[in-house]
Amino acid sequence: MNKIRKGDSVIVLTGRDKGKRGTVLRRVDDEKLLVEGINVVKKHTKPNPMKGTTGGVVDKTMPIHQSNVAIFNPATGKADRVGIKLLSADEKQSRKTQENGVRVFKSSGAEIKA
């Protein structure tokens, strides 16, 4: 189960964008996220008349590893860790999956609204 999902508000923990906030646009793969306004690089593109694009320097958002971001807790105004609270009665037999668990903030235990 992915603890950080599309649409979550996150804070960058390390790197040149440390301390910045943004929302997750999409998951690139199991480990990488595309966060709005984070890890923006200058990309030099060649003109392509077949596609109708002009050449030049373009700002492009690059993926960032999920270990370098933490979910933003609006109640405290700080970064927080994510835990999974099981909903089923028999917790020993059930596994932590999306079907029988909800994401909660580790500090307060409040449910994360998706």
DSSP bridge pairs for 41:
60
The per-residue pLDDT for range 35-83, each reduced to its tens digit, is 999 999 999 999 999 999 999 999 999 999 999 999 999 999 999 999 9
DSSP bridge pairs for 84:
103
97 phi and psi angles, rounded to 5 deg:
-125, 170
Structure tokens at 106: 């580790």
CATH number of 9-45+55-105: 2.30.30.30
By three-state DSSP, how is residue 1 classified?
Answer: coil
The per-residue pLDDT for range 105-114, each reduced to its tens digit, is 988 888 888 6
Contacts of 90-98 spanning 24+ positions with Cβ under 8 A: 96/1, 97/1, 98/1
- Sketch the domain layout of the chain as residue ranges: 9-45+55-105
pTM: 0.80
Q: What confidence score (pLDDT) does residue 21 get?
A: 96
